[in-house]
Chains A and B, each alone.
Chain A
Amino acid sequence: MVELEFQEKTKQLIDSLKSICATNGLGNSTGEFEIITQVFLYKFLNDKFAFEAKKIDANLAKAEKWEETVESMSEDDLEMLQLQMGGDTARLKPHHFISYLFSQQNEPDFAKLFDDTLMDIAATNNDVFSVMTDSGEKVRLFSRINENVTVSKRDAFCRAIINKLIEFSFERIFTQKFDFYATIFEYIIKDYNSNSGGKYAEYYTPHAVARIMAAILVPEAQRGQIKNVSCYDPSAGSGTLLMNVAHAIGENRCSIYTQDISKKSSNLLRLNLILNNLVHSIPNVIEGDTLRHPHHKDGAQLKKFDYIVSNPPFKLDFSDIREELDSKENKERFFAGIPTVPKKEKDKMKIYTLFLQHIITSLKSEGKAAVVVPTGFITAKTGIDNKILKHLVDNKMLAGVVSMPSNIFATTGTNVSILFIDDSNKGDVVLIDASNLGEKVKDGKNQKTVLSPAEEQKIIDVFNDKQAVEDLSVAVSYEEIAAKNYSLSAGQYFDVKIEYVDITPDEFKAKMQSFTDNLDSLFSQSHELEAEIKKQLAGLNYGS
């Protein structure tokens, strides 16, 4: 049970770091988020360096203190070693190691040394590990964590951290698989992803939803056979959706492209990519507004992708950029239209319709996409929503829809569905109504629905096999959908079953006789009461 043991130890490390932050008044703050993610990443890169170095150099593997052996190497030997490590391991120098910082912890201005070390690692690895903004600016791997800490406490703070980092090695986790890192990643971010992230709320996509999306986009039978494909998320957030798809395809067989307006999301995504051996995709991470400045292009045209996943913001006030979006160059991208600015309730503008259109126009011919949408979208009969539905149906580029149970997201009351776009599917479309699945659990103050692994698998199997299962799914043709005013709600195609048990003629007669007898009795009682009431009414007097 090595895996479980290390998972526990890793979680303990994370908890310790959080405890140190809490002690310094940083609990649950933006600063804590930056510190935890960066310190964890530093630890990860340090131990990964050790792991990779020992694989290459037998002397390092045998050494009692590998750091000292590296330190004694000549510059040429060290450079040679790092060249052999490959591009997804950060380049470190002996004075970057945790053990070195540990040995310096009692020196004056240790906090400054700590920050300088992180900044040096960032500078050394700038070409590979930086995220870019849509204006071309680079966002470095690390920032100065001590800016979040009270000046007088900084040295002690960093000493506490370095003592935690030195305690055990990550080296044995580098042979772990995707699920291990997914669990760790969720654990790291669980306190920081809420719906109070500002204008673009950073919603966290439940893992069950991400797994279903990946398993339907890349069915089991196709795994291992796809290669050199591109995967994209125009509102990537922390990258959970992309990690699941990349894992399904194979991390070394695909490249990831992202854009997200949130700096915080870009940092989380980079951490996710590094943890999941997708460092080669970091140059494709763009921090910026996808709608206003879509970055990924082939020349002047939008770049097209093999796979697209997204959990876009649903409703948002974008009234101040609405006119900017309504431009000649966006005519083709926003083919169904751009929501107008209402007089009231601007925060309910349907921004997801823009992301949907952007995704459709970013898809390669024969490409596939999975998008989380509000369930109301799939039955929209008017407006931009309906035009998008028509576009998907008339162009036969749908695989289907899975409507999720209520409260699958603990933080929003909106019911959600997953829309699967597939330009190569000209056959039936699968519609699944999973609203009756799942079990309700408490999640803080909110109620949340959780799907069991068996239920997840059932949804995946039913969808991929295009099964029609009573009360759960239907497989319908594009013509049938058009005839139903482009509705993608499974419920509207379910057969209305007549629940009736045949009765015999004798039973029918007996039942009718029973009705007659009951009515005779009721009529008699009714007549008696009528007589009584009339008599009483005749006895009424006004006054005395």
Chain B
Amino acid sequence: MVHSYTTTIGDIAQLFDGPHATPKKIQSGPYFLSISSLEKGRLNLEKSAFLSESDFQKWTKRVTPEEGDLLFSYETRLGEAALMPSGIRACLGRRMGLLRPNRKKVLPEYFLYAYLSPAFQQIINANTIKGATVNRIALNELPNFDIRIPPIEEQRLVSELLANIDKKIELNNRINAELEAMAKTLYDYWFVQFDFPDANGQPYKIAGGKMVYNPTLKREIPEGWEDTTIEKTESNIVTGKTPSKQKPEYFDGDIPFITIGDIRGNTFIVSTEETLSKQGADTQSGKYLPEDSICVTCIASPGLVGFVTQRAQTNQQINSVICKNEINKYFLYFAMKGYFEGAKAKTGNTFANMNKGDFSDIKVLSPSTQELQSFHEIVQPIFQKIKKCSLENFELQQLRDWLLPMLMNGQVTIKQKAS
């Protein structure tokens, strides 16, 4: 007989409502939190505004968020929540509520996982009031919502495991960011600043290496190097396509179908929202991309670049480069990223509809083979590590999402082993 441990929100936490107006926002100071800051259990303060000190005093008269408080959205973005961190001064934003846990009954960390678990999300859905414009939950009903809260010790064991998995994922992301920044510093030093090692092992330009003005690239580049285009560097460029949506049998198979959202923030594309069946993908067999192809978004949000990690296809907003020559791979990755970063700052929406021809014609540097080879040898292990961490993160996310509901409903428990 397993104890259900079901109780209500009101029994374990105190509920506070947020303001129903907006203060004047400024550039720095205490935060005026926003529900857009709540992202899958994390608080992203980059999306919150600031308010003045005097406004802060005024707006926190009723409640001042404290470390361990659970922040949640009760109108639009229902189901999102995050914990208030320590060392941050902030007031609640509009459509945001706060639950202050009774720490004798519930640990904040466990409370957050329980709130985000599928079981409680279903309770939120069942109690959602559908509006013409936005959906919401009635705050006065929230204290009556059921939630499963086991004894403190069990909470601690469960939240520690889940938190460790989350920490590991976060660490991998930081490792990846550091590795890519390291590789980019090398790319810039060699191919932007032109201080790659010369014949004597000295930095080329600083040591007085000969530079020649290139009218196409409109800058001085090392003698003997040239300008070229993406297509001349690697001619196998594929523009993606979407199979007919009127045939459901073409979808939900084993073949990843990459769209813009899958590339954003991912150097390696390890998962996709949509997939194609073999049947669907074979209707456009010319669109298959092998592992390590480079995907570049060219429409809507141009300039996102990422590597394919298993045989895949993309939609029509993405052009991909299949590298025949291995040593071009990571050089092209940075060259294309650099192109779009430079272009984006200058031209706003000019790239809204870059097609395959425009993409193929992008001008890039053509360094000598020796430098490309050396660069490849140095950064290849770096990118392999990034890929390994990305794949590991995917597995960890799968593990966490699989364990979360079973840990929340008591189906799975943790025993502390004596060590």
Question: Which residues of A pack against B, CB within 8 Å?
Answer: 379, 381, 433, 435-436, 471, 485, 489, 491-492, 494-500, 502-505, 508, 511-512, 515, 518-519, 522-523, 525-526, 529-530, 532-533, 535-544
Q: Is the CB of B160 within 8 A of A522?
A: no
Question: At the interface, yes or no: B41 with Cβ under 8 Å from chain A?
Answer: no
Question: At the interface, yes or no: B164 with Cβ under 8 Å from chain A?
Answer: yes
Question: At the interface, yes or no: B20 with Cβ under 8 Å from chain A?
Answer: no
Counting from the closest, the 6 A-B pairs by CB-CB distance are: A491-B350, A491-B347, A515-B182, A496-B342, A536-B161, A529-B168
Given contacts A505-B195, A522-B178, A540 and B347 within 8 Å (CB-CB): no
Query: Which residues of chain B are near A502, meaning CB under 8 Å?
Result: 193, 195
Query: Which residues of chain A are near B157, meaning CB under 8 Å?
Result: 536, 539
Among residues of A, the one whose C-beta sits closest to the C-beta of B357 is A485
Task: Report the minimal beta-carbon distance from B28 to chain A, rounded to whole angstroms.
Answer: 24
15 A-B residue pairs with CB within 8 Å: A436-B348, A485-B358, A489-B350, A496-B346, A498-B219, A499-B345, A503-B189, A505-B195, A505-B203, A508-B185, A536-B161, A538-B417, A539-B417, A541-B415, A543-B411
Question: At the interface, yes or no: B210 with Cβ under 8 Å from chain A?
Answer: no
Question: Which residues of B pack against A, CB within 8 Å?
Answer: 2, 157, 160-161, 164-165, 167-168, 171-172, 174-175, 178-179, 181-182, 185-186, 188-189, 192-193, 195, 203, 206, 218-219, 338-339, 342-343, 345-351, 353, 355, 357-358, 363, 403, 410-417, 419
Q: Is the CB of B185 within 8 A of A494?
A: no
Q: How many A-B residue pairs have CB under 8 A?
A: 114
Q: Kindly state the separation between the CA atoms of A540 and B206 in the bound complex, as whole angstroms.
A: 59
Q: Kindly state the separation between the CA atoms of A528 and B417 in the bound complex, as whole angstroms.
A: 18
Query: Which residues of chain B are near A511, meaning CB under 8 Å?
Result: 185
Among residues of B, the one whose C-beta sits closest to the C-beta of A496 is B342
Given contacts A498-B219, A519-B178, A533-B161, A491 and B168 within 8 Å (CB-CB): no
Task: Report the minimal beta-carbon distance from A236 to chain B, rounded to whole angstroms.
Answer: 31
Q: Is the CB of B171 within 8 A of A522?
A: yes
Q: Is the CB of B347 within 8 A of A500?
A: no
Query: Which residues of chain A are near B416, meaning CB under 8 Å?
Result: 539
Q: Kindly state the separation between the CA atoms of A542 and B403 in the bound complex, as whole angstroms.
A: 11
Q: Kindly state the separation between the CA atoms of A433 and B350 in the bound complex, as whole angstroms.
A: 10
Task: Report the minimal beta-carbon distance from B285 to chain A, rounded to whole angstroms.
Answer: 26
Partner of A471, one of B178, B188, B346, B412: B346
Q: Kindly state the separation between the CA atoms of A519 and B185 in the bound complex, as whole angstroms.
A: 15
Q: Kindly state the separation between the CA atoms of A434 and B81 in the bound complex, as whole angstroms.
A: 43
Among residues of A, the one whose C-beta sits closest to the C-beta of B355 is A381
Partner of B414, one of A491, A508, A539: A539
Q: Kindly state the separation between the CA atoms of A235 and B181 in the bound complex, as whole angstroms.
A: 57
Task: Report the minimal beta-carbon distance from A455 to chain B, rounded to whole angstroms.
Answer: 17
Query: Which residues of chain B are near A505, meaning CB under 8 Å?
Result: 195, 203, 206
> Which of B193, B345, B346, B349 has the most A CB atoms < 10 Å from its CB?
B346
Query: Which residues of chain A are near B414, meaning CB under 8 Å?
Result: 536, 539-541
Query: Which residues of chain B are near A491, meaning CB under 8 Å?
Result: 346-348, 350-351
Among residues of A, the one whose C-beta sits closest to the C-beta of B419 is A535
Among residues of A, the one whose C-beta sits closest to the C-beta of B3 is A544
Other than the known A496-B342, A519-B179, A544-B410, what 8 A-B pairs have Cβ atoms closer than 8 Å? A436-B348, A492-B347, A496-B339, A498-B219, A526-B171, A536-B414, A540-B412, A542-B412
Q: Kindly state the separation between the CA atoms of A435 and B351 in the bound complex, as whole angstroms.
A: 14
Query: Which residues of chain B are near A535, meaning CB under 8 Å?
Result: 417, 419
Q: Kindly state the separation between the CA atoms of A540 and B346 in the bound complex, as whole angstroms.
A: 55
